[in-house]
Chain A
């Protein structure tokens, strides 16, 4: 199976073409690039490097979030449009799971994304018989609550991935002995994303494939706080 995979959910941009487990092409960039500018040229380059045409690709795999809202949307829009327009299979993979894929086989893996104000997007994963298993679903959480939840695991087993300097400080306060990979050492790799996608079901409704933001917009949050409820009959977007 030939897979085109890409992730733009944070600063790094990564694109890979993987065929039956072999990495045919891989582009990774950590420098500050504009994903909206680079993504399609990089996809084009990855296909060229792998000597494949888009027609030969069987599956498109994309990091579906959480992450930078704009970043996730860029990859998801390209992925769903490609899948729709070329009638390809599409699989979305958690951006946190992609980060966890790089973790140690014998650790409790806690991939993170700094969501500011002592908050993070986080999930808990573990390799079991070589397969990455999700122990706690990806969610948006205060660091305090997350670190408390993690008390159920042995602290020297914990491996935090993609922690900013600030998150590292918060983690070390509670778990001085835990292993913490900083953002520089936690780069998503699209070839790993491709491999994770292989074991997941393809999206059945491409039109309704959207990012997993894991957070309402501030405006919607405030609107619900005021006691409003979504009327099930209202369609907020209408064709006119």
Chain B
């Protein structure tokens, strides 16, 4: 019988300090997440220097909780993994330095993981992945369509040309008076409203798989400002529903274009925006209407946001390939596939 592999993983790329213990890339023994949202809400968005300071405050406590909850000691571990990019450089560095230190202190192999790959492999914690599969990665920093041909082999088919989808939610949220992160609230408002403002669906006619959300965002902001100027009262729920309607049309259009070019058995939707209920319902309905024989995999809400469990999941694949790093690894803030 194959021996179990236990990986202690770190994630600190933005405003969550997270440490997890993952068994065989599949089973979460612990997944401690310390979120800084309340701190950054003071400023209306993530402030990198504040984020870095919080990570230093949290990191050892998170390690302790992760080991305690998993009921394991250092001798039980097989490797240490850490996100090395993309993300905020100051934030990434705390996880990297802590992970390198634990690996060094206990003579454990070190694995450097790509945050985006981690998000996609959060699906591995809830489903058995069949290759090739398609991934729609939607978060505050990323909007990508990725074809995963084999374990750990990624091909980016489409990307955003400007704002990430989650970023667009935060920006229009500000106009609606919603503090960051605005996605959940806008999603709830959208469920109550109607799509009546006819915002633009950028690039849906174009035969590529790229996204653009800045035109939609500007159109939304202009509509609200125009109404303010002429003292017109707009229904905020309808505004939210109209914005979300455009977002979902764009995401749906591009992901099904991709699936037509590359038919697969599984579609994984990952990243913070994968928590959006409107998106979940929409893709489910689209698949049913198209009669596609394809599983739609949404990780549970806790695994949609940034977390170290997903880093343990992708790290297992690198562990199996003996893709190890040394103590000289550095942060790569703009890392891609």
- Which A residues are CB-close (under 8 A) to B74? 85
A1 at interface by CB-CB < 8 Å: no
Q: CA A208 – CA B57 in complex, angstroms?
A: 6
Asked if residues A237 and B327 are in contact (CB atoms below 8 Å), the reply is: no
Q: Find out whether the CB atom of B56 lies under 8 angstroms from the CB atom of A84.
A: no
Q: Give 6 nearest A-B pairs by CB, closest first.
A: A236-B39, A81-B101, A40-B327, A84-B60, A219-B47, A77-B97
| Binding site secondary structure of chain B | helix
Complex interface: stretch among B61-69, B182-190, B217-225, B277-285: B61-69
Chain A residues 19-70 with CB under 8 Å of chain B are 34, 36-41, 43-44, 54, 69-70
What 1/0 mask marks residues of chain A from 107 to 140 whose CB sits below 8 Å from any chain B CB?
Answer: 0000000000000000000000000000000000
Assembled-state Cα–Cα distance A12/B329 (Å): 19
Q: Are A219 and B63 in contact (CB under 8 A)?
A: no
With A and B bound together, what is the CA distance between A69 and B50 in angstroms? 11
| Stretch of B28-36, B168-176, B268-276 with 4 or more beta carbons under 8 angstroms from chain A | B28-36
Q: Which B residues from 80 to 104 make CB contacts under 8 A with A?
A: 89-90, 93-94, 96-98, 100-102, 104
For A70, the closest partner residue in chain B by CB is: B90
- B101 with A220: CB separation less than 8 A: no
Complex Cα distance, B329 from A39, in Å, reads 11
Is B53's CB under 8 angstroms from A213's CB?
yes
Q: Could you tell me if A36 and B56 are in contact, using CB atoms closer than 8 angstroms?
A: no
Report the bound CA distance from A240 to B89 in whole Å: 24
A235 within 8 A of B: yes
Contact across chains for A73 and B42 when beta carbons are under 8 A apart? no
**Interface residue? B159 (CB, 8 A):** no
- A74 surroundings in chain B (CB, below 8 A): 93, 97
17 of the cross-chain contacts (CB-CB < 8 Å) are A37-B330, A38-B328, A40-B100, A40-B327, A69-B49, A69-B52, A73-B53, A73-B93, A81-B59, A81-B102, A84-B60, A85-B106, A86-B105, A219-B43, A237-B35, A237-B38, A240-B35
Does A170 touch B at the CB level, under 8 Å? no
Is the beta-carbon distance between B64 and A84 smaller than 8 angstroms?
yes
Residues in chain B within 8 A of chain A (CB atoms): 17, 32-39, 42-43, 47, 49-50, 52-54, 56-61, 63-65, 74, 89-90, 93-94, 96-98, 100-102, 104-106, 327-331
Partner of A207, one of B61, B90, B331: B61
A78 engages B97 (CB within 8 Å)? yes
Nearest-CB residue, chain B, relative to A47: B104
Majority SS of interface residues in chain A? Answer: helix
| Nearest CB of chain A from residue B107's CB, rounded to whole Å | 9
User: Once the chains bind, are A76 and B56 in contact (CB under 8 Å)?
Assistant: yes
> Residue-by-residue, is A75-93 near B (CB-CB < 8 Å gives 1, otherwise 0)?
0111011101110000000
> Contact at A217–B47, with CB atoms within 8 Å?
yes
Question: Which of A85, A237, A240 touches B54 (beta carbons < 8 Å)?
Answer: A237
Partner of A210, one of B36, B56, B65: B56
Any B CB within 8 A of the CB of A238: yes
Interface string of A175-216 (1 = CB under 8 A from B): 000000000000000000000000000000011101101000
CB distance from A237 to the nearest CB of B (A): 5
If A37-B330, A219-B50, A228-B42 touch, whether A239 touches B56 (CB-CB below 8 Å) is: no
A81 touches B98 (CB 8 A): yes
Q: Are A210 and B97 in contact (CB under 8 A)?
A: no
Q: A36-B97, A228-B42 known; A41 and B327 CB under 8 Å? A: yes
Tell me the nearest residue of chain A to B94, going by C-beta: A77
